Amino acid sequence: MFTGIVSDMGEVIAVEPRAQGLVRLKIASRFDPESIALGASIACSGICLTVVATGSAGGRGWFAVEAAAETLRVTSAGTWSHASRINLERSLKVGDELGGHFVSGHIDGIAEVVGRADVAEMADIRLRAPAALARFIAPKGSVALDGVSLTVNDVGGAEFSVLIIPHTLAVTTMGAARAGDRLNLEIDTMARYAARLLEFPPSAR
């Protein structure tokens, strides 16, 4: 479980294809590798991935994760290459501050950036969600984009917008987001269950 509050921007330093469509990704970060347990979960641009190795080289710490063929197909991980920058968040611990919203790290789809307007050091970014997910996105609701917890400003059909503050622009990959970019989208868990309850109300059981 995560909160959508990014704690580092990592850099992909190696992409190693393995058997059966599996890919091992080595990611450099500011995290102390000795503090990362094998088997730990780290959200990599919103994708919950399992740590399979850690180490350091050239004064930089790194950890490695493996992405299966399905993950590569339905998320942006399939496009990552050497020097790709990704948002990182370590999993939530009991007692940690919940600064964003509950994020599972299970990507629902890809949202495409359709426009960006920079205003007063902030960025108003408009995106298009997959049609099947649009109904889960509501004004003032929450979404996670590439692992960043954001509040929805407005919604029109399958399109919605988010306003990115200067701090978030500086410390996440959202600062580089441009029209045509494809971002990992996770809808709010509460919206998912609310929709499910409406589909199967108690009287239908």
Q: Which of 2, 31, 136, 160 is catalytic?
A: 2
Predicted confidence at residue 6, as pLDDT, reads 96
Of these residues, 48, 111, 123, 144, which one is catalytic?
48
Task: Single out the catalytic residue among 56, 106, 170, 179.
Answer: 106
Q: What is the pTM of this model?
A: 0.92
Instruction: Check whether residue 82 and residue 19 sit in a common domain.
Output: yes
Examine the domain organization and report whether 149 and 76 are in the same domain: no
Q: pLDDT by residue for the chain (205 residues), tens digit each?
A: 899 999 999 999 999 999 989 999 999 999 999 999 999 999 999 999 999 999 998 889 999 999 999 999 999 999 999 999 999 999 987 777 777 788 999 999 999 999 999 988 999 999 999 999 999 999 999 999 999 999 999 999 999 999 999 999 999 999 999 999 999 999 988 877 777 777 776 665 5
User: Exposure of 105 by Cβ count < 10 A (0-12 exposed, 13-18 middle, 19+ buried)?
Assistant: buried
In angstroms and rounded to an integer, the radius of gyration of the C-alpha atoms of the chain is 17
Coil, strand, or helix at residue 23? strand
Does residue 201 fall inside a structural domain?
no
Q: Which of 90, 117, 141 is the last residue of a domain?
A: 90
| Contacts of 53 by beta carbon, 8 Å cutoff, 6+ apart | 26, 38, 63, 64
Catalytic residue of the set 14, 35, 50, 56: 50
Provide the domain count of the chain.
Answer: 2
Q: Are 143 and 185 in contact (CB under 8 A)?
A: yes
Residue 166 belongs to what domain range? Answer: 109-196
Residues 118 and 85 occupy one common structural domain: no
Q: Is 200 a catalytic residue?
A: no
Residue 101 is a catalytic residue: no
- Residue 136 annotated among the catalytic residues of the structure: no
Say whether 106 is catalytic: yes
Given the residues 40, 68, 138, 191, the one annotated as active site: 68
Instruction: Please indicate whether residue 2 is annotated as part of the active site.
Output: yes
Asked whether residue 97 is assigned to any structural domain, the reply reads no
Long-range contacts, 30-33 (Cβ 8 Å, 24+): 30/61, 31/61, 31/63, 31/88, 31/90, 32/61, 33/61, 33/62, 33/63
